[in-house]
Every structure is written in structure tokens, then in C-alpha cells.
Amino acid sequence: MNPKESDQPKASGMLSVVSTPLGNLGDITARSLELLRTADLVLCEDTRTTGMLLKHLGIQAVLKSYHAYNEHVILDKILEQLQSGAKMVLVSDAGTPGISDPGFLLIRHLLQHRIKVDVAPGPSAILPALLLSGFPCDRFVFEGFLPLKKGRATRINALKTEARTIILYESPHRILRTVKDLAEILGPDRQACLARELTKLHQEIIHLPLADLARHCESKPPKGEIVLVLQGASKDKAGD
């Protein structure tokens, strides 16, 4: 997409992308609350999850499913409603839509059709994990979830020479395998930080080299939601 400068958004509806708390309700912003309160329609991954959140926040809203399985097919329907003047909010189950969650396709589609899109910034697991890792945060890369099969080794190999701090999302079922694979390819001594249940009651931050972290995950399998942060490659191994 290469919008011309004269391509101003049409005077129509608007989509606001709103981040929701990862676990601590206090992390919702005043602006997000206002947008949710005044939306004609809230697009969400799971209407039960968002319905519960809105109930806790004391907000009544009309909810519509927008998730990985239907996002391709409902793009034009959403576009039509926005062209008719609707004010919509997009949320995901938790954190920021589009970040390892649905959102990108819709945002791109609407921008291509010159619909106004705005973002109310808020919680995402990336930044708290990065800061709590204590690794350099002036430059970092977000890798999302590693592929399960095809391309997995290639992706990990590419990280061997990555000098910036690396952020990965992982599930508790796969964390042991991932830490073991990373230790094997990046080396057992690469410093890592496992950030678990961020912003929640049982938040836990573990700093260990990869080989020790693998042993830790084996003896005490981590539960809940996990971000894995890796120190970047040292200068002698870095690619640039």
C-alpha cells in the first residue's frame, strides 16, 4: 500500500484499536474506557471473554466476533458498516490487537479503503517482559511465537547473530522444548529471562542461562502465560 498524500480518510466511521489488561484490571486506560463506552460495536476474539471484562468495567456494549477463523470473510462487512458511519472498537482477549492476535488484516484493509483508524495505546506483554529482563532495551526484536515445525530451525539459527535483545512468546506446554532448542542452537550460556503471568498475582521473573533454564523448566514446569527474553548475541558473534 502506498497512500497518496491527498488520500485523506473519508468522512465516515472509525475503528479504534484498544488494548485490554493482561491480568490487572487497573491497567485499562481512561481513554480506552471512554472508547469502549461510546462504541456502536466492539469487535472481539471471544465474546464471552470480552463480555466478562466489560461487565467488570461496568460497560454495556454490542459485541461481534472477529477472530483468526473469520477475519478474512468479515472484512468487507465491517468495511461497509464503517462506511455507513459506525464507530467501532477492536479488542483481543488480552493485550494489544495485532500483536500475535488478529488485527493486522483489518487495519490494513481499512487503511487501504481510507477509513480512519486510531490506536489507544495500552497493555501488551512485550514491554513489561523486556524491561524486567534487565537486558538492553534501546534496541530489541519481537519474534512472536516460533513456528512449531516448518521453518523453526531456520528462525532460531537466524537469531545466532542477532545482537539486539530478542523477545519470544511461548505457551507453557511448549516452553521446555523451546528453551532446549534455543540452548542447543544459541548455546547453553546465552542469558535468558522467563517472564510469567505478568501483571497477575503470581507474576514470576526468572533470570538464568538457557541450559539452566531448561533444567528449571524440567523440574518445575512453568504454568500460565510466558514471555521469553534472550540477551542479544555478544559482539564477537553478532552479524553487524
Nearest residue to the partner ligand SAM, using Cβ: 95
- Using the minimum distance from each CB to ligand SAM, give the nearer residue, 181 or 197: 197
**Minimum distance, C-beta of residue 6 to ligand SAM, in the bound complex (Å):** 34
Using CB under 6 A as the binding rule, whether residue 170 contacts ligand SAM is answered as: yes
Using CB under 6 A as the binding rule, whether residue 53 contacts ligand SAM is answered as: no
Among the listed residues 193, 206, 200, the one whose alpha carbon sits nearest the alpha carbon of residue 225 = 200
| Helix (H/G/I), strand (E/B), else coil: 148 | coil
User: 100 to 119, contacts with ligand SAM by CB under 6 A?
Assistant: 100-101
**Amino acid in position 29:** T
Separation in Å, CA 33 to CA 62, 202, 212: 15, 26, 43
Binding mask 83-102 for ligand SAM (x = CB under 6 A): ---------x-xxx--xxx-
> Contact at 8 Å (CB) between 224 and 202?
yes
Helix (H) or strand (E) holding 97: none
Using CB under 6 A as the binding rule, whether residue 45 contacts ligand SAM is answered as: no
**Minimum distance, C-beta of residue 226 to ligand SAM, in the bound complex (Å):** 5
Q: What's the grid cell of residue 35? A: 472508547
Residue with cell 541450559: 211
> Contact at 8 Å (CB) between 10 and 117?
no
> Contact at 8 Å (CB) between 189 and 213?
no
Binding mask 198-217 for ligand SAM (x = CB under 6 A): xxx-----------------
CB atoms within 10 A of CB 58: 8
**Minimum distance, C-beta of residue 32 to ligand SAM, in the bound complex (Å):** 13
**Minimum distance, C-beta of residue 4 to ligand SAM, in the bound complex (Å):** 32
Q: Which stretch binds ligand SAM (CB under 6 A): 55-63, 130-138, 153-161, 169-177?
A: 169-177
Among the listed residues 32, 132, 30, the one whose alpha carbon sits nearest the alpha carbon of residue 92 = 32
Q: Which stretch binds ligand SAM (CB under 6 A): 68-76, 106-114, 133-141, 189-197?
A: 189-197
Burial call 150-183: b when 16+ CB within 10 Å, e when fewer:
eeeeeebeebeebbbbbbbbbeeeebbebbbbbb
Binding mask 120-139 for ligand SAM (x = CB under 6 A): ----xx--------------
> Contact at 8 Å (CB) between 239 and 163?
yes
Binding mask 10-29 for ligand SAM (x = CB under 6 A): ------------xx------
Which residues of this chain interact with ligand SAM, rule CB under 6 A?
22-23, 92, 94-96, 99-101, 124-125, 169-171, 195-200, 225-227
